[in-house]
A and B are shown apart, each in its own frame.
Chain A
């Protein structure tokens, strides 16, 4: 026996692994599976596409450009960058009920919030309320780290510095009277941003925390006075600030400004004439940018998005077309003698 063992000492192990005989499932693909598979997937895509398209169609959108590039635009006057505290108003009418809740966005185009050095120019530790970074902001914030007096800027960096500062007031014109449409600015930012990511230092009153710091160069008011009407909506957890700080993905974007959920307008904007009063502060003309406001209602898929539905339809139809081509190829191969 010992000899036997010695003789086959080099014998490889007979296991499923070493002999490459691991049990395996080998799906046998055939035309009978592939072609119907393609048809099914194509139909499913078309189905989703139709659903998306219909949903998207039902969403009402109203876009108003107020850049003021054109001579006849009511905001043409304000587009001059030298003018301070310029107010212009745009009139528009709604023909039928704009169903609620209506979301009120401001939109910018040709604006590169996703420029890398712009996007990283912020101090998340500072924004998390860490006071050590109030004194010595993150060096990525350059050149918006210290002001000319060498005081640390809080909040530092490009993103905060360039915060959008146009403000809007919406009026409905009822019998020559302008009725203010109440705008709801609560909960427009992400929950995580509002509750965790951005924290004010736990010093009361808030302004003491900002002692020895400077406000961003482009800001007219310091961070702790962003919203004079609501003391809780100041500092880093100001909703508008939060929305701005969540940088956009692409150079044409919109950001939520307010929601219309209150009073007579909870069910939407009724048909009628409206006036939008704009405090025009934010310069965009220098880089061929555009500014606009967008009113939109939402569905389960969020805002209006026709691209997704159409893309689904296109890809789905492509699959179906492909399966027809396959069927022809299959017929050609299956019955070659008939050709």
Chain B
């Protein structure tokens, strides 16, 4: 709690960027009582004897609310949010602030908002785990059945077979079965892909490295490459369906530029030129000029210097006087500390054009107008609130006349103009023009106030100020309203909120890829909506669904039906199907808290949100950002990705499936907690559409192949057991079992997992629709995994029964058959590999060839005379491959077996190739239409303009 500070009135200025993402300055004021008492003498002594008691609410995560009481010297003072300096805020322009600590450590508001750290596991990994558990359960069951069968065989057949009866252990079939249970456990064990987990990590690491290595995601300005901080989430990037983005610093650069203005109906400046390309104007005549004005308006400069037009002069006087900016002097130039970045931009622009705000004291503002220093006496400041959407100052100018300068949102100002105000029509046209260019506009107006009315008004004001809180606000409101009447319109300013590079393009691309982009911001609703329009998240046609309406929909029994009904009656919903896409939900923090009370709304809301274009959440605390993420996670099975750059995004980044941190200006907190760090929002397209997609594809292929090869290989024993009395006889040589996973089938799938790409990076970006395959889990869904297991079962069936059919009732011995089946298994695994691979690098080709070669070489080695003579009992298969490899029947059988085993996958591939011809055509024809990035604001502008023409002032 702030007790006092060295500034006047014990004000303290704080920057809350880490909490809500706003970089402007806000002020906090100490209680009058503590200020008066504690600053009168050297504060240290006074503070030491301070003995107030604070009663306050339990620690909570509400960032914008606080209720408490200070009991001191028998009096009670109400405390609210304005008296608090929160942990995480940065003190600015204040030398020393003394305070009382209320919450510490984990009880502080920021830590309450921090959320818990949890280990992230990818969806694929969990479905893999489920598949593996399924395999294990299946195997246990099968092994049990086999053991029982073995016992039965022992008691029914073996006992009666002279040559085998002695082999029933201790003459007890049950015990034999029990031992065989363990033998089968070992024999079928390879079907459980334990190696997969190790390889999985290796592949993840490589994919992360590829992200780190990507030059296209390297930001030369800050020498910052993209970084995968969590190496195990790569494939998740290929399945993202919800992108939850922070605004400030993520979508916008948080740099506001004064681009255009309209004074007395005349427009200066041209916003169609990019800010960087604007020709700099010659401002050398102005000693205060420091550059940074991106406007080309020589006529304005000319007229300013001539000082003939009073409207222009008054317009700029309004800019320099009507604000809450603080000036600091550095090297003979004023540096402005603005509570709102808009104001900073306006005052800065005025300075460049010769109207320089020099300094302010409590009631005097010093301004230099084209070199002439003038003092304005500040009589009253009618401050900005989000309801009023305007601010005014009442000043006495050096000539002695009273003037009210007012700036605010256009509809607010326009309705307060005097009748028959000149230039109103032309200014409205200018407003339209500016809003089409996505500029933030403010109307500037002035009013001359008579002495008598001022005196009367100020008396009422003084009386009102003394009143109790609640009534006072209403009364002040009324008073202010009285004063801000009969305004005379001066002009309009247009400010550009600079977006990060390529943000609209990126968002449009991601939207085409089927990703729903939601914006979660601590900013005001108006700002958020404005940015939504600027970055093409919202179309001009988009219908904003606000709380009142949303509430009605949510309360109705069937929200979706109700929603559709509303849309049908909707004026803007031209087509029925289009209507859903064209709706955006706008929510604010306090409204979100209602969701906590009504959990049943969550489902309804998500159903609704899935129909909508986007969702904007404004004024949300970091905790609420995370709550929104949780909401999405809870009610959909989709993958969420959060992107943010500030400490206020940390919670959301940690909560989402994938967290992306931007290495920006707001410190490293977000990056520290993120899974991936990027330098610019636009790299997201490459991260998701290229790396994510590839990674998803590679890992899915890897997974399916791995399950296939291990299961088809091991389950052969299942079939063989029927023919060997369930005796756990192996179908393969021991050495082959060891080498199969290590040499014959490992390297090629690894290279596929590294290098596979079905579509090049350029084409992935060109056809964002391809991304949807990951969202629908086309390559890795439970059904797909199950299908590949069934396929593996089929392959194992073929691997055994084709050779079995060929060799039944023939003179072929066990070893030859073992070699045939193992040869067929290696062929099957490699043909399947060939079918999977689309991108044949030299490594892939090499791996397949080497694997096949290795099989023959290793077989020859383990079946060699040399090794046999060293250890006859370990190299039993000596001679088997000599015979088998020269026998045409073995080759023909192995080929037939392998071909039959891969036939389903071959057919599937062929059919998909045939169908794809059609699909590719579709993608082609669709992508030929150029992506519409510059949206047309011509239609219906008047309907929606009000929502994004907004003043931003101090909070």
A48 sits at the interface (CB 8 A): yes
**Nearest A residue to B167 by beta-carbon distance?**
A117
Interface centre among B813, B816, B913 (most CB of A within 10 A): B813
> Which 7 A/B pairs are nearest by Cβ-Cβ distance?
A192-B879, A162-B163, A249-B817, A18-B213, A116-B729, A116-B727, A287-B161
- Mark contacts of A1-44 with chain B using CB atoms, 8 A cut-off: 1 yes-contact digit, 0 otherwise: 00000011111111000111011111101110011011001000
Q: Is B806 an interface residue (CB 8 A)?
A: yes
Binds A, one of B24-32, B271-279, B496-504, B838-846: B838-846
| CB atoms of B220 and A250 under 8 A apart | no
Contact B889 A25 (CB under 8 A): no
> Nearest CB to that of A128 among chain B residues?
B872
Complex contact B806–A305 (CB within 8 A): yes
CA distance in complex: A13, B212 (Å): 10
B297 close to chain A: CB less than 8 A? no
Complex formed: what's the CA distance from A249 to B889 in Å? 15
| Whole-angstrom CA separation of A41 from B727 in the bound complex | 39
Chain B residues with CB under 8 Å of chain A are 157-158, 160-164, 166-167, 183, 209-210, 212-215, 218, 220, 223-225, 694, 723-725, 727-730, 755, 757, 761, 802, 804-818, 838-845, 865, 868-869, 872-873, 876, 878-879, 882-883, 887-889, 892-893, 896, 899-900, 903, 907, 909-911, 913-915, 917-918
Q: Across the interface, which residues of A come within 8 angstroms of B839, CB to CB? A: 24, 26
A143 lies within 8 A of chain B by Cβ? yes
Is A181 engaged at the interface, CB distance under 8 Å to the other chain? no
Q: Is there contact, CB below 8 Å, between A124 and B872?
A: yes
Instruction: Pick from A106-114, A220-228, A268-276 the stretch touching chain B.
Output: A106-114
Q: Which residues of A contact B813 (CB under 8 A)?
A: 246-249
CB<8 Å pairs between A and B, sample of 14: A9-B223, A10-B225, A12-B215, A27-B838, A34-B913, A130-B872, A193-B879, A196-B868, A197-B878, A218-B163, A307-B808, A315-B899, A322-B907, A326-B911
Residues of A within 8 A of B209 (CB): 18
What residues of B have a CB within 8 angstroms of the CB of A183 in the complex?
A: none
Closest to A331 in B: B914
Indicate which residue in B161, B223, B755 contacts A20 across the interface (CB closer than 8 Å).
B755
Known: A11-B218, A121-B167, A303-B811. A250 touches B723 (CB 8 A): yes
Residues of B close to A109: CB separation below 8 A: 809
Bound Cα distance from A10 to B221, whole angstroms: 11
Smallest beta-carbon distance B863→chain A, Å: 9
A252–B163 touching, CB < 8 Å? no
**Is the CB–CB distance between B725 and A12 below 8 Å?**
no
Q: What distance in Å separates the Cβ of A48 from its nearest Cβ neighbour in chain B? A: 7
- Binary flags per residue of A226-259, CB closer than 8 Å to B gives 1, else 0: 0000000000000000000011111111111000
A residues in contact with B215, CB < 8 Å: 11-12, 14, 18-19
Inter-chain CA distance A322–B914, complex, in Å, is 13
- Residue from the list B213, B224, B724 in contact with A116, Cβ < 8 A: B724
Interface centre among B163, B903, B918 (most CB of A within 10 A): B163
Q: Say how far A252's CB is from chain B's closest CB, in angstroms.
A: 5
Kindly state the separation between the CA atoms of A113 and B878 in the bound complex, as whole angstroms. Answer: 19
User: With contacts A118-B167, A138-B873 known, what are 11 further pairs, Cβ within 8 A?
Assistant: A10-B218, A19-B214, A24-B841, A114-B723, A115-B727, A115-B729, A144-B166, A253-B812, A326-B910, A333-B917, A336-B918
Shortest beta-carbon distance from B449 to chain A in Å: 57
Q: State whether A300 touches B872 (Cβ < 8 A).
A: no
Q: How far is it, in angstroms, between the C-alpha of A41 and the C-alpha of B910 when the chains are bound?
A: 13
Q: Is the CB of A115 within 8 A of B725?
A: yes
The residue on A at minimum CB distance from B918 is A333
- Which residues of chain B are near A334, meaning CB under 8 Å? 917-918
Q: Please name the residue on chain A nearest to B759 by beta carbon.
A: A26
Q: Which of B212, B806, B811, B845 has the most CB of A within 10 A?
A: B811
Which residues of the other chain, A, contact B727 by a CB distance below 8 angstroms? 112, 114-118
- On chain A, the residues within 8 Å of B910 by CB distance are 34-35, 37-38, 322, 326
Q: How far is the CB of A279 from chain B (nearest CB, A)?
A: 18
**Given A52-B892, A307-B805, A308-B889: A251 in contact with B872 (beta carbons within 8 A):** no
Inter-subunit contact B914/A34 (CB<8 Å): yes
Instruction: Kindly list chain B residues whose C-beta atoms are within 8 Å of the C-beta of A307.
Output: 805-806, 808
Shortest distance from the beta carbon of A311 to any chain B beta carbon, whole Å: 6
Within 8 A of B (CB), among A164-209: 190-193, 196-197
- Complex CA distance for A191 and B883, rounded to whole angstroms: 9
A302 located at the interface, meaning its Cβ lies under 8 Å from any Cβ of chain B in the complex? yes
Tell whether, in the assembled complex, residue A114 and residue B729 are in contact, meaning their CB atoms are under 8 Å apart: yes
Q: Which of A20, A289, A315, A319 has a CB less than 8 Å from the CB of B210?
A: A20
Q: Is the CB of A330 within 8 A of B164?
A: no
Given A158-B166, A315-B903, also A250-B896 (CB < 8 A): no
Q: Is the CB of A248 within 8 A of B878?
A: no
A301 adjacent to chain B (CB < 8 Å): yes
Residue of B nearest to A336 (CB): B918
- Which residues of B sit under 8 angstroms from A161, Cβ to Cβ? 163
Q: CA separation between A143 and B165, bound complex, in Å?
A: 10
Query: Do A286 and B160 contact each other (CB < 8 Å), given the known contacts A24-B841, A300-B888?
Result: yes
Determine if B816 and A249 form an interchain contact, defined as CB atoms under 8 angstroms apart: yes
Inter-chain contacts of B214 with A (CB < 8 A) = 12, 18-20
Known: A24-B839, A312-B896, A329-B914. A254 touches B163 (CB 8 A): no
Say whether A115 contacts B888, CB under 8 Å.
Answer: no
Residues of B within 8 A of A318 (CB): 903
Identify which of B158, B723, B812 contacts A251 (C-beta below 8 A): B723
Known: A22-B841, A144-B166, A249-B807. A115 touches B724 (CB 8 A): yes
Residue ID in chain B nearest A159 by CB atoms? B163
Known: A8-B223, A138-B873, A248-B814. A283 touches B893 (CB 8 A): no
Is the CB of A125 closer than 8 A to any CB of chain B? yes
- On chain B, the residues within 8 Å of A329 by CB distance are 911, 914-915
**Contact B840–A24 (Cβ < 8 Å):** yes
Contact yes or no, A31 B917, CB < 8 A: yes
- Report Cα–Cα, A10/B225, bound state, in Å: 7
CB-contacts of A37-76 with B (<8 A): 37-38, 41, 45, 48, 52
Tell me, in angstroms, the Cα distance from A114 to B721 when the chains sit together. Answer: 10
Bound complex: CA A12 to CA B214 (Å): 7
Closest to B887 in A: A302
Determine whether the beta carbon of A20 is less than 8 Å from that of B872. Answer: no
Q: Which chain A residue has the least Cβ–Cβ distance from B892?
A: A308
Residue in B162, B694, B725, B840 whose CB lies within 8 Å of A112: B725
* Distance between Cα atoms of A162 and B815 in the complex (Å): 19
Q: Judge whether A158 and B163 touch: CB under 8 Å.
A: yes
Residues of A within 8 A of B909 (CB): 29, 34
Q: Is A119 an interface residue (CB 8 A)?
A: yes
B917 lies within 8 A of A30 (CB): yes
CA distance A326 to B843 in the complex (A): 32
A20 to B210 CA separation, bound complex (whole angstroms): 7
Q: A115-B167, A315-B900 are in contact. Are A253 and B810 (CB under 8 A)?
A: yes
CA distance A308 to B817 in the complex (A): 14
Min CB distance, B716 to chain A, in Å? 13
Residue of B nearest to A23 (CB): B841
- What CA separation (Å) do A52 and B900 show in the bound complex? 17
With A249-B807, A307-B806, A318-B903 in contact, do A8 and B876 touch (Cβ < 8 Å)?
no
- Output the least CB separation between A234 and chain B (Å): 21
| CB-nearest residue of chain B to A81 | B162
Distance A300 CA – B888 CA, assembled complex (angstroms): 8
B164 with A112: CB separation less than 8 A:
yes
- Smallest CB separation, A125 vs chain B (Å): 5
Q: Are A8 and B879 in contact (CB under 8 A)?
A: no
- In the complex, the chain A residue whose C-beta lies closest to that of B176 is A117
Chain B residues with CB under 8 A of A336: 918
A160, chain B: closest CB distance, angstroms: 11
Closest-by-CB residue of A relative to B807 is A249
Which chain B residue lies CB-closest to A162? B163
* A265 within 8 A of partner (CB): no
Closest to A117 in B: B167
B913 contacts A31, CB within 8 Å? Answer: yes
A205 to B902, CA, bound (A): 57
The answer on a CB contact under 8 Å between A249 and B812 is: yes
